Chain A
Amino acid sequence: DTAVSQTPKYLVTQMGNDKSIKCEQNLGHDTMYWYKQDSKKFLKIMFSYNNKELIINETVPNRFSPKSPDKAHLNLHINSLELGDSAVYFCASSPPTELWGETQYFGPGTRLLVL
């Protein structure tokens, strides 16, 4: 009965590969997010999806593409992986309110290591 889940938990891959990280929330939320947390622990938002529409895209490389098959899922696809993509990626969701970005519920994170 996990609220926000991510798979896989760990991902080790070679440079140049393409990989996907899946996120699912069972909270009935309308908005979902992807964050990147680097080795210095800086937490930066990458994408936000509301009712399957991309709201923001914080100047991330176009090798990263979010895909939302339905309101409960927001997957992150990464093409041509680079060493600098190594980080922890967090998925989050928030309830439908007038305040976008309010009270976000985070997943456990996916630790990506690019060799």
Chain B
Amino acid sequence: LAKTTQPISMDSYEGQEVNITCSHNNIATNDYITWYQQFPSQGPRFIIQGYKTKVTNEVASLFIPADRKSSTLSLPRVSLSDTAVYYCLVVGAGSYQLTFGKGTKLSVIP
């Protein structure tokens, strides 16, 4: 079961690019990586998912190196509304294993 480790918190100024890294040293061959965003008093919201290399959507990019032991969520030009907790999730495809990280609290400063 791949456990994940993330920084507890990060601060960033508005307009900057933010990179949040998640470590998952024991990731298995069939596991894939998903990131969620959670605002206070709300349920988590899906941001992006990937298996290897780079994935990009309208919200973020996800970088996964060849060894897949870590992944980096990249948020371009953050705004105050991006202040939230970001969770890294490793899902074991076909094995019904699912582990949320402890989350990174991102604070965007004006």
Contact = CB atoms under 8 A, between A and B. Distances in A.
Q: In which size bucket is the chain A interface?
A: 20 to 34
Given A99-B32, A100-B91, A55 B96 contact: yes
Does more than half of chain B's interface fall in helix, strand or loop, or is it mixed? strand
Interface string A1-21: 000100000000000000000
B42 to A, nearest CB: 6
B93 A98 contact: yes
Contacts, number: 56
Q: In which size bucket is the chain B interface?
A: 20 to 34
Given A42-B102, A45-B98, A45-B100, A105 B46 contact: yes
Contact of B100 (A4, A43, A107, A109): A43
Interface of B: 32, 34, 36, 41-46, 49, 85, 87, 89, 91-94, 96, 98, 100, 102-103
